[in-house]
Amino acid sequence: MPRLTLLFLVALLASAARRGAVDASIVDGLEVGFYGQSCPDAEGAIRNVVNNEISMNRGIAPGLIRLFFHDCFITGCDASILLDESPAGDVPEKESSANGFTLVGLRTIDIAKSTVEAMCPRTVSCADILAFAARDAAVAAGLPSYDVAAGRRDGMRSNMDDLPGNFPVPGHHVPRLTELFSQRGLTQEDLVALSGAHSIGGAHCFMFSNRIYGFSKDADVDPSLDLDYAARLRQVCPPKNPNNDPQQAPKVKFDARTGERLDAAYYSELLARRGLLTSDNALIEDTQTRAMVEAFARDEVMWQQKFAEAMQKVGMLDVLIGEDKGQVRRQCRLVNGQEQQQLPWFRPHFPWFRQRRPPRPFPHNPMGDLINGFFRGFH
């Protein structure tokens, strides 16, 4: 199959983010069929791994989509979220409270990388594997397939300090969400379309407990919630306790109707006042985004197309292209040259087993970061 080059104009953004490093460029130079000659079976092999993993655990599908979004939204699609260690000594992105124990799908990426490395050593980047895997996860969950352009290189840095203030959180409303997406070269329509990923997966109770307990001085429950829905949430989720372990918190599906199928039912649920997070419900409180929600609820085919297009745009954020930028990692969790730190008897088949510092405890703060990531709990 001939390579079809996808040309995109560079979108340089005007507004500066708090840390300066988050303004994004949508970069041209990626190609559909990039590995057609160098590793022609790569996409099929990755798809097989993803499908096999999802057949054993349906939570892998939303986890991979979320992993892709979390990687691309901060420093671009450079697989920085996959790194266990940063060569500069920074605490990596995956240990941020926006990620941490809630990341799902890392092992799937490890398996896909090991599989492809056995076929075509040092050829397919981890950033491309993650982009392919997110597409394959969406397709496994019910979305029609779409092309993924490739040619990304893997980054060599990862720092969890890049996230605070630069990432959408569950408590955000439309103006702030729109601002953050705009800084990444994404439109308000992209925001609403990508929010449809919440038709699969779910969230831990602490992500929305502020809506069902102690909402305000005048109302214990957020009055914008459907009363029966709020009552069901309270049956699953006890009042928050700062001493509870967040990892043990119950989880609730974003979409109680078709929670394992990626479809437009999410938008109908929003209009029925059954949006789980504040950021979900915010989409029907804003006039402009509500019109988009209503349109997607009426026309699932249109939403599927807009979702795929938005995922393609996300996949082009600040990508590294060319042999003079980044690298093709041999293992997705390590920058090349760090492999000697790994336990030798697990190499190369089990790259997720390696010596590393103990994980940082998740902060026992009830607001903890209400504040911890737009797609958090996506498993």
- Domain of 105? 31-201+254-315
In-domain check, residue 177: yes
Residue 147 has pLDDT above 90, yes or no: yes
170 marked among binding-site residues: no
Q: Is residue 338 part of a domain?
A: no
CATH of the domain at 191: 1.10.520.10
- The residues assigned a catalytic role are 70
Q: What is the mean pLDDT of the chain?
A: 85
Q: Is 80 annotated as a binding residue?
A: yes
Give how many domains the chain has, as a whole number.
Answer: 1
* Percent of the chain topping pLDDT 70: 82
Q: Is 327 contained in some domain? A: no
- Domain annotation covers residue 322: no
Q: Is residue 234 in a domain?
A: no
Does 76 count as an annotated binding residue? Answer: yes
**Length of the chain counted residue by residue:** 379
Question: For residues 297 and 306, is the Cβ–Cβ distance under 8 A?
Answer: no
Using one digit for the tens of pLDDT, what is the confidence trace for 205-236? 989 999 999 999 999 999 999 999 999 999 99
> Residue 46: is its pLDDT beyond 90?
yes
* Structure tokens, 322: 């060319």
Residue 176 domain-assigned (yes or no)? yes
pTM to 2 decimal places: 0.84
Is 369 annotated to bind a ligand? Reply is no
Distance from C-alpha of 179 to C-alpha of 33, rounded to nearest angstrom: 34
- Residue 221 in any domain: the answer is no
Any known ligand binding at 204? no
pLDDT of the residue at 338: 78
Tokens at residue 219, please?
């109302």
Cβ(126)–Cβ(113) below 8 Å? yes
Asked if residue 263 belongs to a known ligand binding site, the reply is: yes
Q: What is the structure's pLDDT at 377? A: 37
Question: For residue 98, what pLDDT is reported?
Answer: 76
Using the predicted structure, report yes or no on whether residue 344 has a pLDDT greater than 60.
no
Rounded distance between C-alpha atoms, residue 12 and residue 71, angstroms: 19
Residue type for position 40: P
- What is residue 256's predicted lDDT score, i.e. its pLDDT? 85
Please give the distance of CA 337 from its chain centroid, rounded to a whole number. Answer: 27
Tokens 């779409």 sit at which residue? 146
pLDDT in tens, 256-299: 888 889 999 999 999 999 999 999 999 999 999 999 999 999 99
Return the pLDDT at 243. Answer: 81
CA angle 197–199–200, rounded 5-degree value: 85
Tokens read off for 128: 């491309």
Residue 293 to residue 60: CA distance in whole angstroms = 26
The per-residue pLDDT for 241 is 83
Q: Are 22 and 74 in contact (CB under 8 A)?
A: yes
For residue 168, tell me if it sits in a domain.
Answer: yes
State the pLDDT confidence band at 185, using cuts at 50, 70 and 90: very high
